[in-house]
């Protein structure tokens, strides 16, 4: 076998395509969106390269949502079984919400499960486990996890979700404050918006679509602030602090 030399073939913020060799040798470690084959680390997704120490990462620019443990998502109840609910996660894999994770209440044997969640309901839920076979388990136990009532649903690209949330939820809380609307952003790209009147709700939807379309622009927060101010809203950019709103933190 040849002498192995470790070398990086790409640099930070490069755009890579699946199949592209990112690094050779064992010095670098494959992170998300890539795999190791022999001596090479090869990209499996289309996106931007990020280097964190010796760990490489590909931040996807497009693509479907992939369930990850710990993500808070907004999901659609598709079926009610004897032991729980089957839920659409806006990804290739449906998820199961079992009875024991659904409620803190005692649920009697043979109870009508549709009084908790019915087909067609949207729920805010958290992924507790993703198996190697991509079976997804959900829970409703946690702060902010609940059934959504009223409001409207819109879909955004899952890869743009971090920009919509902003650092420590700064972007979403700015929009919330300016429009007075309630917003929940699921990691799977489903966003729930509920406002007091339709005008503000429409503005919120427009703002979120604007963030999604211009997510690559630098200084986006200021741009969105300007946009909201041009619509006659009072906007303040929230100061970053430790912690933050649990629901929206990336």
Partner 1 sequence: MTEEVRRHVINYLKHDLRYDGRKNLDYRPISVEVGLIKTAEGSAKVKMGDTEVIAGVKFEVGKPYPDIPEEGTMMVNAELLPMSNPLFESGPPGIQAIELARVVDRGIRESKAIDTKKLCIKPGEQVWTVVVDLIPLNDDGNLFDAAALAAMIAIKNAKFPKLEGEKIDYKHLTDKGLPIISEPISITVLKIGEHFIVDPLGTEESVLDSRLTVATKDDGTICALQKGGSQPLSLEDVEKMIDIATTKSKELRKYLR
Specify which residues 87 forms β-bridges with: 77, 95
Smallest distance from the beta carbon of 233 to partner 1, in angstroms?
A: 16
- Looking at the Cβ atoms of 91 and 170, the one nearer to partner 1 is 91
Closest CA to 15 of 41, 40, 49: 49
Q: How many CB atoms lie within 10 A of CB 204?
A: 25
Name the site residues for partner 1 (rule: CB under 8 A).
118, 120-122, 149-152, 197-199, 202, 206
Cα within 13 Å of Cα(236), Cβ side: 4
- Looking at the Cβ atoms of 28 and 117, the one nearer to partner 1 is 117
Smallest distance from the beta carbon of 124 to partner 1, in angstroms?
A: 14
- Output the DSSP codes for 186-226: -TTSEEEEE-SSHHHHHHHHHHHHHHHHTTTSTTHHHHHHH
Q: What is the rounded CA–CA span in Å between residue 141 and residue 20?
A: 41
With contact defined as beta carbons under 8 Å apart, do 104 and 63 qualify? Answer: no
- Looking at the Cβ atoms of 105 and 149, the one nearer to partner 1 is 149
Q: What is the rounded CA–CA span in Å between residue 147 and residue 249?
A: 19
Helix (H, G, I), strand (E, B) or coil at 74: strand
Smallest distance from the beta carbon of 121 to partner 1, in angstroms?
A: 5
Closest CA to 34 of 26, 25, 46: 46
- Looking at the Cβ atoms of 57 and 209, the one nearer to partner 1 is 209
Smallest distance from the beta carbon of 239 to partner 1, in angstroms?
A: 32
Smallest distance from the beta carbon of 108 to partner 1, in angstroms?
A: 25
Q: What is the rounded CA–CA span in Å between residue 94 and residue 138?
A: 10
- Here the tokens at position 104 are 């803190």
Smallest distance from the beta carbon of 115 to partner 1, in angstroms?
A: 14
- Looking at the Cβ atoms of 152 and 210, the one nearer to partner 1 is 152
- Looking at the Cβ atoms of 40 and 88, the one nearer to partner 1 is 88
Smallest distance from the beta carbon of 31 to partner 1, in angstroms?
A: 33
- Looking at the Cβ atoms of 137 and 201, the one nearer to partner 1 is 201
**What is the distance of C-alpha 31 from the center of its chain?**
18
Q: Is 242 exposed, middle or buried (0-12, 13-18, 19+ CB in 10 A)?
A: exposed
């Amino acid at each position: 076998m040849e002498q192995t030399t470790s070398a990086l073939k790409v640099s930070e913020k490069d755009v890579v395509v699946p199949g592209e060799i990112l690094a050779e040798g064992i010095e670098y470690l494959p992170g998300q969106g890539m795999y190791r084959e022999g001596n090479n680390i090869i990209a499996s997704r289309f996106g931007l390269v990020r280097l964190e120490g010796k760990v490489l990462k590909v931040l996807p620019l497009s693509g479907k949502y992939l369930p990850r443990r710990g993500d808070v998502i907004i999901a659609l109840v598709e079926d009610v079984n004897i032991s729980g609910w089957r839920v659409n996660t806006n990804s290739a894999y449906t998820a199961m919400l079992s009875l024991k994770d659904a409620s803190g209440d005692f649920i009697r044997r043979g109870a009508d499960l549709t009084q908790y969640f019915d087909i067609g309901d949207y729920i805010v839920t958290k992924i507790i486990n993703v198996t190697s076979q991509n079976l997804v388990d959900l829970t409703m136990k946690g702060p902010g996890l609940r059934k959504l009532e009223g409001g409207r649903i819109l879909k955004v690209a899952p890869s743009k979700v971090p920009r919509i949330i902003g650092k420590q939820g700064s972007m979403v809380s700015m929009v919330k404050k300016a429009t007075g609307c309630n917003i929940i952003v699921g990691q799977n790209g489903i966003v729930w918006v509920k406002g007091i009147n339709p005008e503000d709700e429409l503005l919120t939807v427009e703002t979120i679509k604007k963030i999604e379309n211009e997510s690559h622009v630098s200084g986006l927060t200021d741009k969105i602030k300007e946009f909201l101010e041009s619509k006659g809203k009072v906007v303040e950019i929230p100061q970053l602090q430790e912690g933050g709103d649990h629901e929206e933190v990336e």
